[in-house]
Structure 1
Amino acid sequence: MDFTPTEEQAAARELAARIFGDLSTHERLTAAGTGSDGELWKALCAAGLPAAVAETGLLGLVLLLEEQGRTTAQVPFAASCVYGLLAVSAHGSAQQRERLLPGIADGSVVVTGALTDSTVRADSAVRADPAVRADPAVRADPAVRGGRPGRLSGVAPVVPWLRDATYVLVADAEHRLWLVRTVDARCDPVELTAPWSAGRLTLDATPAERLGAPDEGRFDAYDDVLATARTAFAGLQAGVCAGSVARAVAYTNTREQFGRPLAAKQGVQLRAADAHMDTEAIRVTAYEAAWRRDEGLDYAAHALTAGWWASEAGHRVVHAGQHLHGGTGADLEHPVHRHFLWGRQLEAYLGCGSELLQELGESIMHGEGDA
């Protein structure tokens, strides 16, 4: 395996680092509250970074998300690339790709996902009754043109970046994937640990279109999109942790106690070193899972491994970052606290450590992959 970025991946990462560094400042993040930074999102899209993911692959996306995580930039970059660009590219029909990908690439269409912790079901009347499926009102709805039409009911209690989204990629009880327009659904804002523009999605016989061509049985689509999401958000967690460690190092090198920098104390050095090693473990497992997907290799178990490290080690790192700031770390307005909130949110997103470990063990036991 080779995690060395290609020339295109390296150039995209450098551009992302510059844009995030220039625009995702503490002052702008504070002003944004729990909303997204529209100006930053426009700058990223104008620079072609979401579109670049189509060429740089999942590993390229992980590199970009690391830069987002370092600054905890409040934009729907991860969600729209995972649930939109990569999911539609891999599993959408030709008509869906033609219709949706240009808008996702230029940022005018934002997609998020509701794959877990929902009660969504496809209404049986639409699935079983050919007369209902042939209903002109259903077929003419732009939300269902080009895919197998349906109607969904149920609730997804927490959907990240829902308040920014044009579409939501929803998994029903049978793990089939559907695209739902947010204008057709009820979307209520919710507050999370991290200040993401999240919401509660309520569907009541809401028009939807199946991801993929009508006659395609994409039974692997759910597993692929979920593994892609776990890998990508592990990359985001690696950036969050790296940012937390960097802030802790800067603080302990300048803060003095009894005439010596805090960083001169062995206990501080050991705590920072442990946090650095945990961050590297998150990064390398995310890189491996992403590289394997890009190479067309099995990567489900590797995505679970990356997700486990992001959850378990991510928890340790953001706590260490806050503790190394001493009393300053308890200040809710301090920038390091934002890394703490993001790290705790990502710790539980798409499955906590114990859940992922159980799923990984079961997959190994059934011979579905190796870690």
Structure 2
Amino acid sequence: MDFTPTPEQTAARELAARIFGDLSTPERLATCGTGTDAALWKALCAAGLPGAAEETGLLGLVLMLEEQGRTTAQVPFAATCVYGLLAIGAHGSPEQRARLLPPLRDGEAVATGAFPARRGGVRSERAADGTGRLTGTVPVVPWLREATHVLVPDGTTRTLWLVRTDAPGVRRDPVETTAPWSAGRLTLEDAPAETIANPGPAPDPYADTLALARTAFAGLQAGVCAGSLARAVSHTTTREQFGRPLAANQGVQLRAADAHMDTEAIRVTAYEAAWRRDAGLDAGPHALTAAWWAAEAGTRVVHSGQHLHGGIGADLDHPVHRHFLWGRQVAGYLGAGGEVLDELGELLTTGRHPDAGERSPDEAR
């Protein structure tokens, strides 16, 4: 394995870092509420960064998402790239790719996904022409309020369906989550949908998309943790107590060192899962490993980042608090650490992948 970025991946990461750093400032974030930073999203699309995920692969996307996480930039970048560009690019038909990918690249369309499937039950009725009707509810879908398309898995058959949010029978109700992800409750009542299932040697669409999402959001978490730790280091090296910097205390150093090692573990496991997927290798177990580290270690890191700020860390308006909220939200979205570990343990001990279709998502968990 060689995680060294290609020149194209490096260029995409550097451009993402520059745009996020220039535009996703604490002052701008304070004015966004729970919605998308429309100007930032427009700038990202104008720079071609969503489309760059198709060219630089999942590892390239993970690198860009790290930069988003560092600044907690309020845009549906991960959701659109994973559930739109990469999922449709890998599993959509030629006609679907030609029709759907250009507006997703340009920002005219925004995609999200009703994943993981355990969060709600959706039933489908499929017609011979690949269209269908969906009924069911997904309690929380990130960035749903901004989305034009939602990728919805059938909880029993693991079929992937694409639903337009403006279609009849589709209802979106705002839901407030820990982090301001413009989330919503998705209710489908005999809603029209189209299948995303391009026949061929490609991996199972549901399992592949779930692995994509786990890896991408783990990469986002690596950036969230890195940003939280960077703020903690800056604070403890400049804030003095009893005539010396807080960072001179051994307890502070040990807490920061543990947070650094946790952040690196999240990063390297996300890199490995992304590299394997880009190389055409089975990445399911590695995506689960990255998700476990992102959920368990990610929570520890953002708690440490807030704790190392002392009383200031309790200020809800302080920038480090956003990292705390995002870290908790990413962990919750990926699933509780014990839950993910149970799934990974079953895969490693039995060789049976819960996402391969042997059981329903609820049974798999």
TM-score (norm 2): 0.93
**1:293 — aligned with what?**
277
Question: Does residue 193 of structure 2 align to residue 208 of structure 1?
Answer: yes
2:9 aligned counterpart, secondary structure: helix
Q: Distance in 2 between matches of 1:46 and 1:368?
A: 43
| Counterpart mapping for 1:1-371 below 5 A | 1-115=1-115, 116=117, 117-123=119-125, 127=126, 133=127, 148-173=130-155, 174-184=157-167, 185-213=170-198, 220-367=204-351
Choose 1 or 2 for highest CA Rg: 1
Q: Distance in 2 between matches of 1:48 and 1:224?
A: 24
Q: Distance in 2 between matches of 1:333 and 1:121?
A: 42
Listed one character per residue, the Cα deviations across residues 325-366 of structure 1 (whole Å, up to 9, x for unaligned) are: 000000000000000000001111132111110110111112
Listed one character per residue, the Cα deviations across residues 126-169 of structure 1 (whole Å, up to 9, x for unaligned) are: x3xxxxx47xxxxxxxxxxxx61101000010000001101000
Q: 1:172 to 1:69 in 2, by over 3 A?
A: same
Gaps of 5+ in 2: 354-365
2:109 aligned counterpart, secondary structure: coil
Listed one character per residue, the Cα deviations across residues 250-303 of structure 1 (whole Å, up to 9, x for unaligned) are: 000111101111001010000000000000000000000000000001111000
Q: Please report how far the alpha carbon of residue 367 of structure 1 lies from its aligned counterpart in structure 2 after TM superposition.
A: 2.2
Q: Please report how far the alpha carbon of residue 71 of structure 1 lies from its aligned counterpart in structure 2 after TM superposition.
A: 0.1
Q: Is the 8 A contact 2:292 2:340 kept in 1?
A: yes
* RMSD (CA atoms): 1.4
Q: Distance in 2 between matches of 1:352 and 1:239?
A: 19
Q: Distance in 2 between matches of 1:162 and 1:57?
A: 25
Q: Distance in 2 between matches of 1:63 and 1:283?
A: 9
1:194 aligned counterpart, secondary structure: coil
Q: Please report how far the alpha carbon of residue 216 of structure 1 lies from its aligned counterpart in structure 2 after TM superposition.
A: 6.9
1:203 aligned counterpart, secondary structure: strand
State the identity as a percent: 73
Q: Please report how far the alpha carbon of residue 368 of structure 1 lies from its aligned counterpart in structure 2 after TM superposition.
A: 5.0
TM-score (norm 1): 0.92
Q: Distance in 2 between matches of 1:352 and 1:108?
A: 34
Gaps of 5+ in 1: 128-132, 135-146
1:39 aligned counterpart, secondary structure: helix
Listed one character per residue, the Cα deviations across residues 193-222 of structure 1 (whole Å, up to 9, x for unaligned) are: 001111000000000001134x77988110
Amino acid at match of 1:155: T
**1:144 — aligned with what?**
none
Count of residue pairs brought into register by the alignment: 348
Amino acid at match of 1:161: W
Listed one character per residue, the Cα deviations across residues 36-63 of structure 1 (whole Å, up to 9, x for unaligned) are: 1000000000001011111100000000
